[in-house]
Amino acid sequence: MTEPTGFPVQDRHLAGVGAGAAGHAGAPHAGPPQPAPITPGDVSDAARLVAFGLQPKLLPARDAEYAELVRRHREDPRFASLCDAVAAGLGLVVLEVSPRAGMAVTAAEDSVFAVRMSDYARRASSESTDRFLHGLAHLAIAALAFPRPDDLAEDSYVGRISVHGVDSFVRQACRRLEERAEQAGENIDPAVDSPGLEAAWRVYARRSATGATKDARRLSASTIGIVGKAVAFLVDSGFLQRVSDEAGGTYRTTARYQLQVRDMAGTAAMSELLELGVVPVSDGGATLVPPSDDAGELAPGAGLPFHGV
């Protein structure tokens, strides 16, 4: 049977192909639209955002250019990937990019921006063994600022700590750990000539809380002096904000600090300190929950080990 009018089916198909080919003669095949190439301006903007992220006290709410770059990072996946690549090339890990925290970054271990506890303690004290105490002070501040998992998970949570509260909390933890060590039959009186072998809590418990110079200033090597240096460092890093002079200085946490503590929350030392049972109080201090009668023994190597820091 032939078609009533026009081409036969096969011929009509071929004719259509021919007509289409004739209509597009010499034209390239149309593929999916290609994204615009990355320009030097894009790279410059990405580097600019990372530079903003390295100014810990600056927030997008205080700088229009910063706020615009944060908005672009959140809305443009290609720009976000470019920013992450620039940060990675500098040895930085992007924790979050948001209006509340800006570009929050942390340094990888091999980054030129990394601050190692040994270097920090060396600048803060001439005693090599003090680096354990400085590490313990930083750990205690983090645990006291965010004592519960929900505190870290809730973006709107603001922690509160004080210098005296942190020192008191660490001393309570020291007593609790010493009791556990005695129950476990551990040697709680290590060799005098091997201070580096002492667990950090033993060193802290033996150190004077305040001490004083002839003009009544607190000694920098006292435990309150060490906590004060740790707090000052965190303020300079945009992690804490001073709210009053009470209790040796009272501070509140920032969104950037919450992100940093989230990043370190899984460490063994942090977990061990939190397992003691931190109960924060409103003045920036804390206490520990009463020990249970069936408390287990310390695991091998426990005692807040900062020797490898």
Residue 156 lies in a domain: yes
Residue 74 lies in a domain: yes
Domain boundaries, position 186: 117-288
Write down which residue in 107, 130, 158 finishes a domain. 107
Token pair of 163, please?
A: 């210098």
Cβ(95)–Cβ(56) under 8 Å? no
pLDDT-wise least confident of 56-65, 157-166, 204-213, 265-274: 265-274
Q: Give the integer Cα–Cα distance in Å for 246 and 117.
A: 28
Tell me, yes or no, whether 103 and 124 share the same domain.
Answer: no
Token pair of 161, please?
A: 């700590």
Averaged pLDDT score across all residues of the chain: 73
Q: Return the pLDDT at 98.
A: 94
Distance from chain centroid for Cα 291? 30
Average pLDDT over residues 278-285: 44
221 burial via Cβ count (<10 Å: 0-12, 13-18, 19+): middle
Q: Return the pLDDT at 134.
A: 81
Q: What is the CA radius of gyration of the chain?
A: 30
**Which residues, 6 or more positions from 18, have their beta carbon under 8 angstroms from its beta carbon?**
none
Average pLDDT over residues 203-218: 65
Cβ(135)–Cβ(230) under 8 Å? no
**Which residues, 6 or more positions from 35, have their beta carbon under 8 angstroms from its beta carbon?**
78
192 closest CA partner among 184, 182, 181, 202: 202
- 202 has a pLDDT exceeding 60: yes
Residues written for the chain: 309
The per-type count for the chain, helices as H runs and strands as E runs, is 12, 7
Residue bearing the bigger pLDDT, 201 or 229: 229
Residue 81 lies in a domain: yes
Tell me, yes or no, whether 101 and 124 share the same domain.
Answer: no
Residue 172 lies in a domain: yes
44 membership: H or E segment, kind and range? helix 40-53
Tell me, yes or no, whether 87 and 122 share the same domain.
Answer: no
Tell me, yes or no, whether 127 and 248 share the same domain.
Answer: yes
Residue 19 lies in a domain: no
- 18 has a pLDDT exceeding 80: no
Tell me, yes or no, whether 87 and 213 share the same domain.
Answer: no
Tell me, yes or no, whether 103 and 54 share the same domain.
Answer: yes
pLDDT-wise least confident of 119-123, 158-162, 230-234, 296-300: 296-300
Of 27-31, 53-57, 172-176, 286-290, highest mean pLDDT:
53-57
Q: Return the pLDDT at 262.
A: 84
Residue bearing the bigger pLDDT, 193 or 125: 125
- 126 has a pLDDT exceeding 80: no
Write down which residue in 86, 107, 128 finishes a domain. 107
Tell me, yes or no, whether 162 and 125 share the same domain.
Answer: yes
Tell me, yes or no, whether 182 and 102 share the same domain.
Answer: no
Count the neighbouring beta carbons within 10 Å of the beta carbon of residue 77: 9
Tell me, yes or no, whether 272 and 133 share the same domain.
Answer: yes
Tell me, yes or no, whether 102 and 129 share the same domain.
Answer: no
Residue 32 lies in a domain: no
Count the neighbouring beta carbons within 10 Å of the beta carbon of residue 258: 28
Q: Return the pLDDT at 209.
A: 81
Residue 23 lies in a domain: no
What is the domain count for the chain? 2
Q: Return the pLDDT at 82.
A: 97
Residue 99 lies in a domain: yes
Q: Return the pLDDT at 309.
A: 33
Tell me, yes or no, whether 140 and 241 share the same domain.
Answer: yes
Q: Give the integer Cα–Cα distance in Å for 70 and 83.
A: 10
Tell me, yes or no, whether 144 and 223 share the same domain.
Answer: yes
